[in-house]
Amino acid sequence: MKYYIIAGEASGDLHASNLMKALKVKDPEAVFRFWGGDKMQAVGGALVKHYRELAFMGFWEVFINLLTILKNITFCKKDILQFNPDAVIYVDYPGFNLRIAAWAKKQGFKNLYYISPQIWAWKENRISKIRRDLDALYVILPFEETYYKEKHNYIAQFVGNPLVDVIQDSLLTKNTFRKDQNLNSEIPIIALLPGSRKQEIIKMMPTFLEVINRFPQYKFIIAAAPGIDFDWYQQFLKDQPVLLVQDQTYALLKNSFAAIVTSGTATLETALFSVPQMVCYRSSFLSFQIAKRIITLPFISLVNLIMDKEVVSEILQNDFTVKRIEQELKLITESKKRTQLLEDYKLLHQKLSAGGTSTKTAVAMFEFLQKKQ
């Protein structure tokens, strides 16, 4: 069968690539055309647009790039028509994907959505679009299946969280990171994960870097975002005693003693590697003010939301200062809080585990499409 896949972010590229691998096992004749990144391209098929061309975050940032977004939507519709797939698979990225899904449904295409829009966080009215436009919804957070059923009488399928399998595979690989980077085996590593988009990195990086000189006993290493050139980061680094690595985030986390993480998928990845962390975020003033009035969740971190309590500290906006980060880093490296974090991480892992998420999703999609033929 022919599959048109839309993934608009680095995390979507990862999960979509593993889904594609699983689909090829179930459907050896699978043909892929997609919006995504390097990982999807490595599996095979035609890359239409790279996610780095699509990475606009925050209300203001989306507004000023609205013309580009609208052009992308128009182009995507034409491209789907020309390809004429058996199914359009949407991977997260709801602002763009739900618009395409509404159009694709009217054209008679089958719409399969992997990694649900987080309507439990905001824009709950999207449930009407989900009901109307999606043929199947596969969710990766354990509370989402219940949320859809009990609150909206809508059937979504919990397939487990794909990060569990990805990270388990990573943990089984040979650990040569310290040797490859010529690092002293005795010095603990603090991972700095400033985000995957340039807009958020610009806001996060200066404060992250100011912390470094206050902890000479640690080696700080920055995980560069995939799709962003190494040279771009040099504007921040200058003479800082920090190492920058790219496409090695998992290897870095596997060797880290603690981490300072920008809110997003990375918080969950860090927890599944059992690395004590703090979650930080700063957006533009306007975006933050709008978000405060729309989003009513008690937490922004996926770790805390899944556990339904504060497991990791969230350091946001005006609280995002060098002093506050310094205080929290001492807590997660030197106090009882570190022990408690590691215990909570074990419970988190149990909640997310289902085993073989990509395979389970691919089988469900393939069998659904076969029934509809």
Residue 292 scores a pLDDT above 80: no
CA distance 235 to 361: 42
pLDDT tens across 21-75, in order? 999 999 999 999 999 999 999 999 999 999 987 765 555 555 656 777 788 999 9
Residue 44: which residues within 8 A CB-CB, separation 6 or more? 20, 24, 32
List helix spans (H) across 27-141: 38-43, 59-64, 66-83, 94-106, 127-133
pTM reported for the whole predicted model: 0.81
Q: What pLDDT score does 289 carry?
A: 58
Domain range annotation of the chain = 2-160+354-372, 167-352
DSSP string, 172-228: HS---HHHHTT--TTSPEEEEE--SSHHHHHHHHHHHHHHHTT-TTSEEEEEEPTTS
pLDDT above 80 for 295:
no
pLDDT of amino acid 67: 74
Mean pLDDT of 326-340: 95
Instruction: Assess whether pLDDT exceeds 90 at residue 181.
Output: yes
282: confidence class by pLDDT, cuts 50, 70, 90: confident
Residue 291 has pLDDT above 60, yes or no: no
pLDDT of 149 reads: 96
When pLDDT is cut at 50, 70 and 90, the band that residue 137 belongs to is: very high
Concatenated DSSP letters for 215-282?
-TTSEEEEEEPTTS-HHHHHHHHTT-S-EEEES-HHHHHHTEEEEEEESSHHHHHHHHTT--EEEEE-
Q: Residues of the chain with pLDDT > 90: what percent?
A: 71
Query: What integer pLDDT is reported at residue 294 of this predicted model?
Result: 56
> Quick one: which of 214, 191, 232, 200 has its CA closest to 316?
200
Structure tokens, 87: 């199914």
The DSSP 8-state label assigned to residue 49 in this structure reads E
- Please say whether the beta carbons of 4 and 42 come within 8 A: no
Task: Tell me what the mean pLDDT of segment 189-203 comes to.
Answer: 90
Would you state the pLDDT for residue 274?
97
In the predicted model, what is the mean pLDDT of residues 175-190? 94
> 311 and 341 in contact (C-beta within 8 Å)?
yes
Q: How far apart are CA 178 and CA 200, in angstroms?
A: 28
How many Cβ atoms are within 10 Å of 86's Cβ, its own excluded? 17
Mean per-residue pLDDT over the chain, rounded: 90
pLDDT tens figures, 5-26:
999 888 899 999 999 999 999 9
Percent pLDDT > 70 in the chain is 93
- pLDDT attached to residue 36: 95
Q: How confident is the model at residue 300 (pLDDT cuts 50, 70, 90)?
A: confident
Can you tell me the distance from the alpha carbon of 13 to that of 91, in angstroms, rounded to the nearest whole number? Answer: 8
What is the spatial distance between Cα 288 and Cα 166, in angstroms, rounded to a whole number?
32
Mean pLDDT, rounded, for 125-151: 95
CATH superfamily of the 2-160+354-372 domain: Glycogen Phosphorylase B; (3.40.50.2000)
CA atoms of 3 and 6, how far apart (whole Å):
10
Asked if the 167-352 domain carries CATH number 3.30.2130.10, the reply is no
pLDDT category at 230 given cuts 50, 70, 90 is confident
Residue 296 has pLDDT above 70, yes or no: no
User: 286: pLDDT confidence band, cut at 50, 70 and 90?
Assistant: low
Sequence-ordered list of residues with C-beta below 8 angstroms from that of 85, at least 6 positions apart, any chain: 1, 2, 3, 4, 33, 109
How confident is the model over 239-275, as pLDDT tens digits?
788 999 998 999 999 999 999 998 878 999 999 999 9
Q: What is the mean pLDDT of residues 153-176?
A: 92
Long-range contacts of 62-70 (CB under 8 A, 24+ apart): 62/95, 69/96
